[in-house]
Structure 1
Amino acid sequence: MPRCLEGLRLALSFLTVLAPARAEPDDAFPRALPWFPVAGLVVGLLATLPAWLGLFAHTPFLAGWTVALLGLLLTRGLHADGLADIADAVGSAATGDRFWAILKDSRAGPFAVMALALALTAQASACGELASQGRLGVVVWSFVAGRTAGLAVLHVCRSRARPGLGALFARGATPRLIALGVALCAILGFALAGLRDTALGLAACAAVTWALARISRRQGGFNGDFVGAAIVLGEVTVVLAAVAA
């Protein structure tokens, strides 16, 4: 594979089921970061493919849920798991070591279930509405914006990274990389969603980044669950903002 595409393979391997997962050296993780938005574009195009083909054209409800379901399947539910962990830890009102113990607990508590139910329902409903309006480009771009929100969280929280996958990614989240990621996200947004929805979506992702950074700062740490939560919340808030506009 050409070296210029190796980063894309890594991003697809880490973030999706579209490239085989395999053991990678630690220095491979930062090389995947510039390709996060592109990986989001690939997921977005595949998740909306049934709608582009005209399936469920008369049933927006099913079109929206198809997007949400394919988004989960294409990512192994990895990002949704991060949101669930964050929801349980924050919902418990715990601090310090107790917060991190809850975050690492693989069992889903009530806050995790509620967060996932709300996020998926909101995403499916908004995507269905956008599909009915012929605005599938916004839906595709929401997946790009979500991965860009993940990059932003990696950057603003990297100094608090705890040992683990989050720390391996965070070491490559430089200001230059984030600027390039946001610029690429904006360009794709203008092409797919238009100026207004792009501006609203970027503002929504900035709010998601701020909220998660605030939690990280209060708890004195950061891990990969924050990235997953940023990706899901970025996707959801972008389509909600577009529907509400």
Structure 2
Amino acid sequence: MPAESRLVAGARLAVTTFSTLPVRAGRIDRPVAGAAMALAPVVGALLGALLAGVLLLVGTLAAPLVAAGVTLGAAALLTRGLHLDGLADTVDALGSYRRGAAALEIMKKPDVGPFGVVALVVVLLVQAAALTELAGRPWPACLAAVVVATAAGRLGVTVACRRGVPAARPDGLGALVAGTVGPLAPAAGAVAVALLAVPAVPGRPWQGPLAVVVALAVALALLHHVVRRFGGITGDVLGATVEVVTTLVYLGLVLSA
């Protein structure tokens, strides 16, 4: 498959995988999946711009907390809630202290256990609190913060799909994308997202990039643990990575000395 057409197909697959935007997927195979996972932060930046627009618009009509809640609702709608579902399933499996197939079986269950519920509540509370604070910042800083956090969450997926990371199952999204991303995409993505984070905290140009670096470091540690416990990554693990990194970046952007 020619490189250009693979890139186009990868872009379309990235949009359909990470959003509900009306784009029809084309060819799907591992090379295309690798391109899609490498482009995930770009889709995240696009989603972040849309969500920042929602936050800023609703913030002119209602209280910042209301704007934050509406923005989180829009985020769930634009992503089908898949990342939140993946977070709950992954945390439930980790909380069971089981390994391998037994842990994967827990992730398949349609119900959400207590660990998953707590994870969802904590993540949504932290994100809502951070968005409430960001809504009070000048609009360029607010826009940069939401774009960076959303893009960084998808960059976590790029990192998770790098070569050498196995899939936990022989089928599913994890099997399609695991090990498909070369070393250049995560490195380039990290630099780009860190640079985008510079204007996110007025007066502290270092805080945004530091928040991105710390969040990605935590994601790497989490992925290492997940691979040991489950034997590799799954689609649920990728969703959990998105939410964990996004939440940590939001938290890092609103912390003050």
Do both proteins adopt the same fold according to a TM-score greater than 0.5, normalized to the shorter chain? Answer: yes
Which deviations, in whole Å up to 9, do the C-alpha atoms of 1:182-224 show, x marking residues without a partner? Answer: 2222232235554321212221221122123212223323212
Q: Does the 8 A contact of 1:157 with 1:216 survive in 2?
A: no
Q: How does 1:223-234 map to 2 (within 5 A)?
A: 223-234=234-245
- Displacement, 1:5? 4.2
> Which residue in 2 is equivalent to 1:74?
78
What residue identity is the alignment partner of 1:218? R
> Which residue in 2 is equivalent to 1:19?
22
Matched, 1:199 2:225: no
Aligned mates of 1:211, 1:139 — CA distance in 2 = 23
Identity of aligned residues (%): 33
> Which residue in 2 is equivalent to 1:45?
49
Q: How does 1:87-166 map to 2 (within 5 A)?
A: 87-134=91-138, 135-136=141-142, 137-155=144-162, 158-163=165-170, 164-166=172-174
Which sits farther off after the overlay, 170-179 or 192-201? 192-201
Instruction: For structure 2, list consecutive stretches of 5 or more residues without a partner in the other structure.
Output: none
Q: 1:219 to 1:53 in 2, by over 3 A?
A: closer
Aligned mates of 1:75, 1:219 — CA distance in 2 = 25
- Give the one of 14, 26, 35 matched to 1:31: 35
What residue identity is the alignment partner of 2:93? A
RMSD (CA atoms): 2.2
> Which residue in 2 is equivalent to 1:176?
184
The alignment covers a number of residue pairs equal to 244
1:117 aligns to what SS in structure 2? Answer: helix
Aligned mates of 1:190, 1:57 — CA distance in 2 = 28
Bigger proportion of residues as helix: 1
Q: Does the 8 A contact of 2:151 with 2:193 survive in 1?
A: yes
Which sits farther off after the overlay, 195-204 or 70-79? 195-204
TM-score (normalised: structure 2): 0.85
Aligned mates of 1:221, 1:170 — CA distance in 2 = 8
Aligned mates of 2:166, 2:102 — CA distance in 1 = 21
Which sits farther off after the overlay, 118-127 or 102-111? 102-111
Q: Does the 8 A contact of 1:57 with 1:132 survive in 2?
A: no
Q: Does the 8 A contact of 2:87 with 2:119 survive in 1?
A: yes
Which sits farther off after the overlay, 91-100 or 138-147? 91-100
Q: Does the 8 A contact of 1:47 with 1:71 survive in 2?
A: yes
Aligned mates of 2:240, 2:83 — CA distance in 1 = 6
> Which residue in 2 is equivalent to 1:210?
221
Q: 1:25 to 1:219 in 2, by over 3 A?
A: closer
What residue identity is the alignment partner of 1:229? A
Aligned mates of 2:137, 2:28 — CA distance in 1 = 45
Aligned mates of 2:229, 2:199 — CA distance in 1 = 38
Matched, 1:186 2:173: no
Aligned mates of 2:59, 2:50 — CA distance in 1 = 13
Which deviations, in whole Å up to 9, do the C-alpha atoms of 1:165-190 show, x marking residues without a partner? Answer: 11211232221222222222223223
Q: Does the 8 A contact of 1:84 with 1:116 survive in 2?
A: yes
Aligned mates of 1:77, 1:54 — CA distance in 2 = 21
Aligned mates of 1:119, 1:33 — CA distance in 2 = 23
Q: 1:57 to 1:89 in 2, by over 3 A?
A: same
Instruction: For structure 1, list consecutive stretches of 5 or more residues without a partner in the other structure.
Output: none
- Displacement, 1:54? 5.8
- Displacement, 1:17? 0.3
